Amino acid sequence: MAETEELDDDAIAAQWEAEMAGEGGDDAARDGGDMASEWEAMAGGDAEEDMSGGAVGRVLNQDEIDSLLGFDGDGSDGEDRNGIKAMINSALVSYEHLPMLEIVFDRLVRMMTTSLRNFTSDNVEVSLDNITSVRFGDYLNSIPLPAILAVHRAEEWDNFGLFTVDSNLIYSIVDVLLGGRRGTAAMRIEGRPYTTIERSLVERMIEVVLEDMSAAFEPLSPVTFKLDRMETNPRFAAIARPANAAILVRLRIDMEDRGGRIELVLPYATLEPIRELLLQMFMGEKFGRDSIWENHLATELWHTEIPIEAVLDEQAITLGEVMNFHVGQTVMLNCGLDANIRMRCGNVDLLNGKMGRMGNRIAVRISNNIRSPATAQ
């Protein structure tokens, strides 16, 4: 009997404990729901107060923050930037304001295709990826290393430019020129400096490209590009201040299953001597000149009537004497019968002559021309 009573007591205790736990959970859930609703009401009230008070009631997400700051997700340079980034880069001169650049670089692509085919004895295809305007310092910081940077000099313009050859193109050129088999990827050993052979072969390729670039600019302005030095550290290849604007031209060189990228950087200071030529919409454009209009204007100018004054004498007198002039007064001139008379148009002296009479008219016989110092030279 005692054991039965203990079992009954244990069962009753377990039942009470379970009921109490259930009631406590329900109460806790009810209390939690009430508290959550109360917090939500308080938050809604605060938001309404913030909106009524003029404060911002919404938090910007990451996409909106990137758009405000002008950062694009894919990092492409060809897209137009907006936001603060656009304000910072607003001082950059777009290459689209220099229409002749595209014509010059199109010529360069065609000439490089032919010359590199002769140089490598392989099927080479050169394509122009894009032309953009960049800050020189930003470009140096974005160069993927390892790479070879070739500094060249434009002799007639007395300034410098920069070629950047990436590692893929370097190993591809070495592989092609030294007889590597087709269909096999070029061997790349990262983390080591370029050898003398690799630098020499890339230097020969750069010299070929520089000759083509000189020929591409030839119809626009004669210029000679000469290789100045080869560098592997971007800090040693600085040819302009970091904040200076520059033109960046990306070229893709494909040799069947091999290839790489070469980039040309020309600071705007380098292109300044031919800026007016680069502003042309087409080759040989004459700014503000029209031969038909010039001929018409010249023809009309020959038929234009201009007033000519014969000046006998000029005197400087006071305003008081002029105010005292009266009708019938005689003004004495400091010239005789044989004095020279100047023929004047406006304030410009044109001719010298002698005064006389022809019939009932006073005439002037022209003796010589008066040439200004500018026309006399």
pLDDT tens for residues 86-133?
555 554 555 456 788 888 899 999 999 999 999 988 888 999 988 888
**CATH numeric code, 305-376:** 2.30.330.10
Nearest CA to 202 out of 173, 175, 223 is that of 173
Residues 271, 278: contact at Cβ < 8 Å?
yes
> For position 202, what pLDDT does the model report?
92
Q: Each residue of 317-364: pLDDT tens digit? A: 899 888 888 888 888 877 777 778 888 888 888 888 888 888 888 888
Q: Would you list the domain boundaries of the chain?
A: 91-278, 305-376
Secondary-structure class of domain 91-278 per CATH: alpha beta
Residue 253: which pLDDT band, with cuts at 50, 70 and 90? very high
Q: Give the predicted TM-score (pTM) of the model.
A: 0.54
**Between these two residues, 256 and 204, which has the higher pLDDT value?**
204
Lowest mean pLDDT among 6-15, 169-178, 308-317, 333-342: 6-15
For 345, what's the count of Cα atoms within 13 Å in the CB-facing half-sphere?
6
- Cα–Cα distance list, 4 to 9, 122, 202, 295 (Å): 9, 102, 100, 132
3-state SS track over 314-355: CCCCCHHHHHCCCCCCCCCCCCCCCCEEEEEECCEEEEEEEE
Q: Is residue 316 over pLDDT 80? A: yes
Alpha carbons 303 and 131: distance in angstroms, whole number: 52
**Between these two residues, 312 and 73, which has the higher pLDDT value?**
312
